[in-house]
Amino acid sequence: MAVPAALLPIVGPADDALVTAQRLGQWCSRAPEMEEDVALTNIALDQLGTARLLYSLAGELEGAGRDEDDLAYLRDQRDFHNVLLVELPDRDFAVMIAKLLFLAAYQCDLYRRTAADPAGGPLAAIAAKAAKESAYHLDHARLWTLRLGDGTDESHRRMQAAVDEVWPYTHELFEAVPAARADWLSTVEPVLARATLRRPADGWAPTGGRAGRHTEAMSYLLAELQVVHRAHPGARW
Amino acid sequence: MPDPTPPTGTGRWPLWEVFVRPRRGLSHSHVGSLHAPDAELALRNARDLYTRRQEGVSIWVVPAAAITASSPDEKDSFFDPAADKVYRHPTFYPVPEGVPHL
């Protein structure tokens, strides 16, 4: 079932967070070191927690009896409004870090602006909590970007390839609020520079995620996410 | 699916010992150890591994190589001589009341 247009400002970021949590969760037991495994799954849980709060709020405001589980598990691909960036497969560790860097810089800024809105109500409260976590996610991605970019020849090559691959998908983040891109660039560009990475040129800007038009990867992701719930509708643990 | 690159680095990530000061404590206690490539990441990893349940407000990470520890084998010869030197303990005079942190 589709999401009412008025709720897209809540559901879009919620979907970003849910899909990110799902992608990061795939690193569980597959990270290069145990400590990194714990760090990534912690970030995944933070993102999932934010998604749950946002979905619950959206369900309440919609007033059609949908709760967080209905929104996460029973919507089809066309009704998901995450940006394409978060659904991209994590081809390697560098790609995952590049995606996290760009996303966290965007989320940090978005949550801070939302939390600062005096008329924000429960949404501002959720954003305030998420903003603190987001700062940590950004920090984690930043530290890894610096180490991989300004690292060995192989890590530099992989990190540059990751940044080049992911950069076009960042434009979609600023379709709604183009003015926010300046702040985002001022966060992201210094990190790339210090990591001795080349900031890609702006050009191709794939889009469609916010409108429900997703890449092939999204269907596999949703299938894995939703299959258990859909196989046992109404089940309780 | 993440690229299954063969593991290489564990041997090159040094070991760090972690000390955490709890919210209502005065001193850092040893809580465990972890591997990290450098001090900054060691601090972040310690936060994830050892303060997950709000155990602490301050973290120290120290390279394990920087710590010199007494040997458990030498425990007896190291510590026993002090056992029967009763004059080293302040037990022969009353402790004044109201003296802080004595």
C-alpha distance from B66 to closest chain A C-alpha (Å): 21
Q: How many domains does chain B have?
A: 1
Class of domain A5-198+205-231: mainly alpha
In a domain, B35, yes or no: yes
Residues A73-82: tens digit of each pLDDT: 999 999 999 9
pLDDT band at A71 (very low <50, low <70, confident <90, very high): very high
Q: Tell me, what's the pLDDT at B77? A: 73
Cα A129 → chain centroid: 16
> CA A216, A1, A88: angle at the middle one, nearest 5?
20
Tell me whether B4 touches chain A (CB under 8 Å): yes
In a domain, B91, yes or no: no
In a domain, B13, yes or no: yes
CB of B16 closer than 8 Å to CB of B1? no
In a domain, B95, yes or no: no
Residues B21-54: tens digit of each pLDDT: 988 888 999 999 999 999 999 999 999 898 877 7
Assess whether pLDDT exceeds 90 at residue A104: yes
In a domain, B19, yes or no: yes
Tell me whether B60 touches chain A (CB under 8 Å): no
Strands (E), chain B: 15-21, 29-35, 58-63
Q: Which domain holds residue B31?
A: 9-70
CATH number at residue B61: 3.10.20.520
Tell me whether B39 touches chain A (CB under 8 Å): no
Residues A130-149: tens digit of each pLDDT: 999 999 999 999 999 999 99
pLDDT band at A1 (very low <50, low <70, confident <90, very high): confident
Burial B49-61 (b: 16+ CB within 10 A, else e): bbbeeeebeebeb
3-class secondary-structure state, position B16: strand
- Write out chain B residues lying below 8 Å of A90, CB-based: 2
pTM for the whole thing? Answer: 0.89
* Cβ contact, residue pair A42, B52, below 8 Å: yes
Strand pairing class (B29-35; B15-21): antiparallel
In a domain, B31, yes or no: yes
In a domain, B25, yes or no: yes
